[in-house]
Amino acid sequence: MPASYAYLGPEGTFTEAALRTLPEAATRELVPYVSVQSALDAVRVGEAEAAFVPIENSVEGGITTTLDELVAGAPLMIYREVLLSITFALLVRPGTQLSDIKTVSAHPAAQPQVRNWLKKNLPDAHWESAASNADAARLVQEGQYDAAFAGEFAAALYGLDVLESGIHDAENAQTRFVLVGRPARPAAPTGADKTSVVLWQRDDHPGGLRDLLGEFATRGINLMLLQSRPTGEGIGNYCFCIDAEGHISDRRVAETLMGLKRICLEVRFLGSYPRADVGVEGVSAPRPGTSDEEFVSASDWVARCQDGRF
How does pLDDT run across 219-246, given as a tens digit for each residue?
999 999 999 998 878 787 889 999 999 9
Q: Do 281 and 213 form a contact (C-beta atoms < 8 A)?
A: no
Cβ 78 vs Cβ 51: under 8 Å: no
pLDDT for the residue 2: 62
Cis upstream peptide for 10 (omega within 30°) = yes
91-109 tens-digit pLDDT: 999 999 999 999 999 988 8
Closest CA to 88 of 172, 34, 164, 12: 164
The answer to whether the predicted template modeling score (pTM) of the entire model surpasses 0.85 is yes
Give me the pLDDT at residue 1, please: 54
Residues of the chain with pLDDT under 70: 1-2
C-alpha distances out from residue 289 to 51, 139, 218, 243, 279, Å: 38, 57, 10, 22, 23
DSSP assigned state of 301 = H
Residue 183 DSSP one-character state: S
3-state secondary structure of 139: helix
At 185-208, the pLDDT tens digits run 999 999 999 999 999 998 888 888
